[in-house]
Amino acid sequence: MSMGKAAISFVQEFVIGVGLLSGLWICVGVDPEAEIAKSFASVVQQISPNLMYPFLFWLIPVIGTVASWAGAYFLGGWFGIVAVALAFFGGIFINSPIGVYLIIAGILIGLFAPHTQQTW
């Protein structure tokens, strides 16, 4: 994958997908991962009421979040983490002008983040 395609892919998948959308969900007040986990746990509970560890379904969103942040780090390094964090806070503060500036800064840093990583 060329560095230009890697940069665009990083911005689309991590900066916008992980950072911005997660921040927007928090701004709206909905946690989609928790809702999916609750629904899945209730379905499994109906199928098997003797399930002893329903709290294990709460690990799914945690594992997904850790995997997303790890992917952002491995593809974009520390600049990638900063880009995703800026987009995340931009999504949370989307109602104010600072949110828009944070999103723009996250996207711009995200475009250069894969270029700072060593190519394997």
Helix (H, G, I), strand (E, B) or coil at 31: coil
Alpha helices (H) along the chain: 3-10, 21-28, 32-47, 59-92, 97-116
In Å, how far are 29, 33, 46, 89, 93 from 58, measured between CA atoms?
Answer: 18, 9, 17, 24, 27
Q: Count CB-CB contacts under 10 A for residue 22.
A: 20
Q: Please indicate whether residue 42 or residue 15 has the higher confidence score (pLDDT).
A: 15
Quote the mean pLDDT of the chain: 83
pTM: 0.79
Q: Coil, helix or strand for 78?
A: helix
The predicted-structure confidence for 38-79, as pLDDT tens digits, reads as follows: 777 777 777 776 666 666 666 777 788 889 889 888 888 899
